Amino acid sequence: MSEERSLHFLEEIIEADLAAGKHNSILTRFPPEPNGYLHIGHAKSICLNFGLAQKYGGATNLRFDDTNPVTEDTEYVESIKEDIQWLGFSWKQELYASDYFEQLYQFAETLIQKGLAYVDDSTSEEIAAQKGTPYTTGVRNKFSERTVEENLELFRAMRAGKYKDGEKVLRAKIDMASTEMLLRDPIMYRIKHAHHHRTGDQWCIYPMYDFAHGQSDSIENITHSICTLEFIPHRPLYFWFIEQLGIFPTVQYEFARLNLTYTVMSKRKLLQLVNDGHVNGWNDPRMPTISGLRRRGYTPESIRDFCDKVGVARRENLIDLGLLEFCVRNHLNKIAQRRMVVFDPIKVVISNFESKLEWLPTENNPEDENGGVRQVPFTKELWIEAEDFMENPPKKYFRLAPGQMVRLKSAYIITCNEVVKDAEGKVTQLNCTYLPNSKSGEDTSGINVKGTLHWVSAAHAVPVEIREYDRLFTVENPAAEEGDFKDFINPNSLHMISNAYAEPALAQATAVEHFQFVRKGYFKLDEDSTADKLVFNRTVTLKDTWAKTAQK
């Protein structure tokens, strides 16, 4: 952390504002709509907003942008709060745009009184048609000529519930000829006779995003309102409302949202995956949601590190999934408990092993001096990984083969003497001998072997279920493909192994631990585990340079 790092553009802006005395301290906000679960893209925004406030001694509000009751729900509110806290951030105040409904309503009346807003009876289609296109100018209709009194009366009647959904809207009177589509008399309020998750049936008119967000920022005295690039066209409107209302001038700044390869990052698409059953819920370990990543075994530290590494700028980007995986391996390598688990077992019989059982010490984490050791049982019959034996090995294959020696991790060097096959010629058992003087830690054999294998004593093996995950999509950027993004779902994104053999220590696994199954990858206990069967999710594989070498 000692290396100099240049500031990104938002840090520069904040430092300039602070230096100029524009603000004494900064206040940011994270403004999710409670209509879905948070994903890794939100994590970038969370790290940015909370991180900036932390860095410059300010604070961050959590404000739910709950202006559309038909899509929003408290289920989402709860999940969002949990995810932010899990990521390691705490907000100054928990707020809701709906807290300001009365104030926003008064703001609307103010604008009506200033002759800057009017009630429009047009249909949605008519309004769209009158709005024009980006290339042609829009036209104003006769409703825009209503008097202040008439507008006030109508708007109050809207609030009072005199009209049905869609019958009328309140519009800002700005400029139907503006090259900015959003300035062509944007809708401020629409009628929705819908139950709101917080205000209940108190309201039947709800403000649009543009008439809620900027004013909410202003009411809270947010100094820097940070959002994504697609809101750039909203900025003139954001300022317009603040200026006309004469309220605290929060400034909006935009940055480029995070995109990740082999996944999708829109709540709409993620919702489809959930609803259509392509995944098992928002927290499916294959989802890019915070809850999915958490269940899969990602750590908050690794996600924060990732968000830090991707940077903050204003150009479109598509981040390599490999960077996220690098970050989680990097962290997990330091904290994960090592355990031995055989996924695809083949029997090894040590013919010259005379004692019944020997307990051998092995380190829990070679990266951690204080990680301690545990005992693993060694017996005559063991399981090793089927892929760790080859009858006719290629060059540089450092594993078991007829006549070839390997080290069993933390145990002895063994030699394969005999290959036992069944009627179909399938290898069923390997008869081996061990070198008694090659015991780990007290090896006097003088023999150096290249390969070290993980293994499990057959008599002590604990059957566990393993869930291996792969990328959710087969193409780098499914959202950019022609046609339905769901056509590119990876059919092999989940691979289950129902009977893997684990060393006995793993039976005591808890939900808070992260494991490295030696030579296999990083794993975490899944919530589907029962007393009878433990289930482990593969967070990420280990880097596998042998796989690359073997391919050549």
Partner RNA sequence: UGGGUUAUUGUGUAACGGUAGCACGACAGAUUUUGGUUCUGUUUGUCUAGGUUCGAAUCCUAGUAACCCAACCA
Active-site residue list: 33, 257, 267
Region near RNA per CB under 7 A, out of 16-24, 148-156, 450-458, 524-532: 450-458
Give yes or no for residue 387 binding RNA (CB under 7 A): no
Give yes or no for residue 198 binding RNA (CB under 7 A): no
Q: Which is nearer to RNA, 201 or 528 (CB)?
A: 201
Give yes or no for residue 440 binding RNA (CB under 7 A): yes
The answer to whether residues 437 and 228 touch, using CB atoms and an 8 Å cutoff, is no
Q: Which is nearer to RNA, 91 or 206 (CB)?
A: 206
Region near RNA per CB under 7 A, out of 45-53, 88-96, 351-359, 440-448: 440-448
Q: Which is nearer to RNA, 201 or 320 (CB)?
A: 320
The answer to whether residues 366 and 333 touch, using CB atoms and an 8 Å cutoff, is no
Amino acid at 545: T
Whole-number Å distance between alpha carbons of 468 and 403: 33
Whole-number Å distance between alpha carbons of 107 and 399: 75
Region near RNA per CB under 7 A, out of 272-280, 309-317, 416-424, 526-534: 309-317
Give yes or no for residue 505 binding RNA (CB under 7 A): no
Q: Which is nearer to RNA, 32 or 300 (CB)?
A: 32
From 21, 396, 424, 512, residue interacting with RNA (rule: CB under 7 A):
396
From 118, 206, 488, 501, residue interacting with RNA (rule: CB under 7 A):
206
Give yes or no for residue 44 binding RNA (CB under 7 A): no
CB 422, min distance to RNA, A: 26
Residue 61-90 contact track with RNA, rule CB under 7 A, x = bound:
----x-xx--x-------------------
Whole-number Å distance between alpha carbons of 386 and 348: 10
Whole-number Å distance between alpha carbons of 542 and 519: 7
Give yes or no for residue 194 binding RNA (CB under 7 A): no
- Work out the number of other CB atoms within 10 angstroms of the CB of residue 90: 10
Q: Which is nearer to RNA, 175 or 494 (CB)?
A: 175
From 18, 86, 150, 209, residue interacting with RNA (rule: CB under 7 A):
209
CB 232, min distance to RNA, A: 5
CB 209, min distance to RNA, A: 3
Give yes or no for residue 185 binding RNA (CB under 7 A): no
Q: Which is nearer to RNA, 174 or 284 (CB)?
A: 174
Amino acid at 396: K
Whole-number Å distance between alpha carbons of 448 and 288: 44
Q: Which is nearer to RNA, 230 or 487 (CB)?
A: 230
HSE-up (13 A, CA, CB side) for residue 77: 17
Give yes or no for residue 191 binding RNA (CB under 7 A): yes
> Cα-flanking dihedrals φ and ψ of residue 382, to 5°?
-130, 160
Q: Provide the 8-state DSSP code for 57.
A: T
Region near RNA per CB under 7 A, out of 22-30, 139-147, 164-172, 242-250: 164-172
Rule CB under 7 A: which of 256-275 touch RNA? 256
Q: Which is nearer to RNA, 116 or 182 (CB)?
A: 182
Coil, strand or helix: which one is 69? coil
Whole-number Å distance between alpha carbons of 340 and 462: 11
Helices within 233-377 (DSSP H only): 235-245, 267-275, 290-296, 300-310, 321-335
Give yes or no for residue 223 binding RNA (CB under 7 A): no
CB 528, min distance to RNA, A: 25
281 φψ region: left (φ > 0), alpha (ψ -120 to 50), beta (else):
left
Whole-number Å distance between alpha carbons of 417 and 402: 6
| Alpha carbon distance, N-terminus to C-terminus of the chain | 38
Q: Provide the 8-state DSSP code for 410.
A: T
Q: Which is nearer to RNA, 172 or 284 (CB)?
A: 172
CB 179, min distance to RNA, A: 4
CB 217, min distance to RNA, A: 12
SS3 labels along 108-136: HHHHHHCCCEEEECCCHHHHHHHHCECCE
Rule CB under 7 A: which of 507-546 touch RNA? 516, 518-519, 542-546
Whole-number Å distance between alpha carbons of 190 and 69: 12
CA triple 235-239-240, angle to 5 deg: 115
Whole-number Å distance between alpha carbons of 102 and 147: 23
Q: How far is CA 338 from CA 233, 236, 287, 374, 515, in A?
A: 52, 56, 26, 10, 6
Region near RNA per CB under 7 A, out of 231-239, 280-288, 414-422, 491-499: 231-239
From 48, 312, 382, 405, residue interacting with RNA (rule: CB under 7 A):
312
Give yes or no for residue 351 binding RNA (CB under 7 A): no
Rule CB under 7 A: which of 462-481 touch RNA? 480
Give yes or no for residue 133 binding RNA (CB under 7 A): yes
Whole-number Å distance between alpha carbons of 17 and 12: 9
Give yes or no for residue 333 binding RNA (CB under 7 A): yes
Give yes or no for residue 128 binding RNA (CB under 7 A): yes
Which residues, in sequence order, are bridge partners of residue 419? 430
From 100, 155, 231, 515, residue interacting with RNA (rule: CB under 7 A):
231
Give yes or no for residue 366 binding RNA (CB under 7 A): yes
Give yes or no for residue 196 binding RNA (CB under 7 A): no
From 234, 294, 295, 514, residue interacting with RNA (rule: CB under 7 A):
234
From 15, 94, 320, 528, residue interacting with RNA (rule: CB under 7 A):
320
Residues with Cβ within 8 Å of residue 487, at least 6 apart in sequence: 481
CB 183, min distance to RNA, A: 9
The answer to whether residues 403 and 391 touch, using CB atoms and an 8 Å cutoff, is no
Which residues, in sequence order, are bridge partners of residue 377? 359
Which helix or strand (DSSP H or E) is residue 463 part of? strand 462-469
Q: Which of 290, 319, 362 is nearest to 87 (CA)?
A: 290
Give the total of residues touching RNA (CB under 7 A). Answer: 92
CB 391, min distance to RNA, A: 14
